[in-house]
Structure 1
């Protein structure tokens, strides 16, 4: 049985000692970590790996962290990804520049790893709440990720593990249209080969379970694009 992948963090840091310490702590917290040493490498990985959050050092070889952040926030497909800027620059002007470039948070070196992890979770709570055990609500549907239970209009909804992961993904971003490929990546993982038609099968099962006790179909099919909630 495949489990929904943990939030994927892209760590962009050219200092090997810092990179190793952060990678160790992130993995210990259960995050999936990919790393980059340069800005160019980071931009490539952002497109290929679709991270859920970017930890970005300001001072990088060739392409700076500021430029990486600017490019990430300039593209509609990557703009929603939270960026936490890491920098030894502690002056207010530097903080303002980093935030105005689009960084969602700015952490000055040296920093407390515990505080950094807390800030990281704060950002992920906006974008991947189910992965952090949060309760999600949409209309009369309640998903308790911590207890792994789903209710509709107060009644328990029985879901298989795949349908639960599909629903949690859809409920994290109500209204967002997810392509079949995006759902495959989020629910099954990139290392697993599953035909895109399998997504349709499990969406059908999810709909059936959600409407078993009545109520409208909350899952919208967007022809040629994918699925959305609401």
Structure 2
């Protein structure tokens, strides 16, 4: 099961995205700022990092540059999450070493397609079977 590190300082956004990805079969680790992203990535070696592009402590671009400069984390794909319509943010994210960019609000099928591509998985939304409720 692929492990995704979600780096997001907004509790509601982080929790919602975590729940949605867990339902798609991913293991989730979280960090709330750029410094936490670097620390968690080094400790846990996630398969992919989703990096909010507006982070405190160590800003997102600096966190991405440090992750890509570190031999222990440089091969981890990073998808930056930017504000919709912020083309300059997307360009800065790619310049900092991010592998891809997606926009907020999150469109789950589109984001899953990017995650799957970055991980070399089939491009499809995973559907997990949930047994019917009740007896019988």
TM-score category (smaller protein): 0.7 to 0.9
Specify which structure has the bigger relative contact order, considering alpha-carbon pairs within 8 angstroms and separated by 6 or more residues: 2
Match in the other structure for 1:120: 115
2:101 maps to which of 97, 106, 119:
106
2:26 aligned to which of 26, 31, 35: 31
Q: Counterpart of 1:40?
A: 35
Aligned CA distance change for structure 1 residues 40 and 106 (closer, same or farther; 3 Å):
same
3-state SS, counterpart of residue 73 of structure 2: coil
| C-alpha spacing 1:38/1:91, structure 2 compared with 1 (3 Å) | closer
State the Cα deviation string for residues 191-222 of structure 1 (Å, max 9, x = none).
Answer: xxxxxxxxxxxxxxxxxxxxxxxxxxxxxxxx
Q: CA deviation at 1:89?
A: 6.0
Shift of 1:12: 0.3
What residue in structure 2 maps to residue 165 of structure 1? none
Q: Which runs of 5+ in 2 are unaligned?
A: 123-136
Give the equivalent residue in structure 2 for 1:60.
Answer: 55
Q: Which of 64, 86, 102 is matched with 1:91 structurally?
A: 86
**How many pairs were matched up?**
122
Match of 2:3 among 8, 17, 21: 8
TM-score (norm 1): 0.51
1: CA distance, partners of 2:17 / 2:86: 24
TM-score by length of 2: 0.83
Indicate the residue corresponding to 1:73 in structure 2.
68
Deviations 1:36-55 (A, max 9, x none): 11111111111110111000
Equivalent residue for 2:127? none
In our comparison, the structure showing a higher alpha carbon Rg is: 1
What is the alpha-carbon distance in structure 1 between the residues aligned to residue 39 and residue 20 of structure 2? 24
Partner of 2:126: none
